[in-house]
Amino acid sequence: MNAASEPLAPQLLADLLAAATAARERAYAPYSRFKVGAALLDEQGRIHAGCNVENAAYPQGACAEAGALSALVLAGGRRLRAALVVGEGAALCTPCGGCRQRLREFGSDDLPVLIADPSGLRARFTLGELLPASFGPDHLQKDACA
pLDDT in tens, 100-132: 999 999 999 999 999 999 999 999 999 999 999
Q: Which residue segments constitute the domains of the chain, with CATH numbers given? A: 3-140 (3.40.140.10)
* Interatomic CA distance for residues 72 and 33, integer angstroms: 26
Active-site annotation holder among 25, 43, 54, 65:
65
Comparing CA positions, the residue from 55, 121, 54 lying closest to residue 83 is 121
Residue 120: strand pairing partners: 117
Active site residue 65: yes
* pLDDT greater than 90 at residue 143: no
The answer to whether 111 touches 80, Cβ cutoff 8 Å, is yes
pLDDT in tens, 22-72: 999 999 999 999 999 999 999 999 999 999 999 999 889 999 999 999 999
pTM of the entire predicted model? 0.92
